[in-house]
Amino acid sequence: MKANLLLIDDSEAQSTQICNALERLGYRVTRASSGVEGLRLARTTSPDLVLLDVVMADIDGFAVCRWLKMNAETRDIPVIMLTVRTAVADRVEGLNIGADDYLAKPFEDQELEARIFAALRVKATHAELRDRNQQLESMLHHVEALASTDALTGLFNRRRFADVLRREFAVTKRYKNTLSCLLLDLDHFKQINDRFGHDAGDQVLKEVARRITGSLREVDLAARYGGEEFVVLLPHTGKTDANIVAERLLKNVRKQEFNFGGEVLTVTASIGCAGNSDVASSNPDDLVKAADIALYEAKKAGRNRVVMYKAGADDQRAIGSSNSLPAPALPFPASIPPPAGPFSVNMPGGVRLPPLGKPVGKDPADGE
């Protein structure tokens, strides 16, 4: 199928002659009798190519071409200038403002067809290159996403977290902002895998990841840091507010139930919390190390709790912020009540034990 052409020429006689020649060659032609009309038709008809006379009464072809090439809607349309002017300066001016070719009147039909074919071929090549570049960019984004995303949970992976941590830590140092880090580890997760299988463990990890992201702001970043370990970066957040976020995370993790083989389980987590005020060095990894120390203290204190890092202490380097019950290990028989721990179980006969591992007293995340 031949291309759609726009012919802009204010000479009725010359326009008719050129239009007839183009139609004989099989092209579909839209005619404009002035520069202003040509600009309007170029926007509304989206031609494949513009044939543009240089000398016109209202605005000359150079001005029309300049406008076409400056406008985002029309800049990619090839323009062939048509004129009786043969001076080199005129040709150079037309090409300098973006014309794709310059054809002096009078011309033979074969020459006109050859120029049009060449211009359309160049346009098609450019379009193909543009499409390929877009495909390559899309593939690159996909590869980058694969390289920075954890396949199971959809969260960022440890490598991506390290990149963001370095950037945010530098910004925090420069502008003296606050930055906090949470390190979350699921309690006794290995025993879930051992007892119910890795598919069950994967289900737990995916749901915990979803609950973590659902508890955060858009500016926060969550990543899978290890097997059952997650890390959260909270920009513009001091330790007090970070502790509130951590308690909310812990609450959201605890209230999710999982049904494996007829047993309804809940899981708990230990969370270490640290802020940039705890780090005297310029090494961003020290912020994660501080959160890791607090996480260790949370586990040592019985798990199922949030612990804040305490800088400057030699023997007790972190202090607890919640008084949750300890989280004992699995497995335990489903037919007898388990000890206080991170799981609740639906017992036979419709008797249901309450979720275990709840904090003693009021949960700070429950509000009033």
Catalytic residue among 12, 37, 228, 297: 228
Torsion of CA 137, 139, 145, 148, to 10 degrees: -90
Amino acid identity at 238? G
Cis peptide before 106 (omega within 30 of 0): yes
Q: DSSP assignment of 40-88, as one string?
A: HHHHHH--SEEEEES--SSS-HHHHHHHHHHSTTTTTS-EEEEES---H
Q: State yes or no: is 229 an active-site residue.
A: no
C-alpha 4/C-alpha 21 separation (Å) is 14
Please say whether the beta carbons of 39 and 67 come within 8 A: yes
**Which residues have CB under 8 Å from 211's CB, separation 6+?**
249, 252, 253, 256
Q: Which residues of 319-334 are buried (b: 16+ CB within 10 A; e: fewer)?
A: ebbbebbbbbebebeb
Coil, strand or helix: which one is 154? coil
Q: Please report the beta strands in 240-344, taking only residues with DSSP state E, as ranges in sequence order.
A: 257-260, 263-266, 269-275, 305-309, 318-320
* Total Cβ atoms within 10 A of residue 168: 22
- Alpha helices (H) in the chain, listed in sequence order: 12-24, 35-45, 61-70, 88-96, 109-148, 158-175, 189-196, 198-214, 239-254, 285-300
Residue numbers annotated as active site: 228
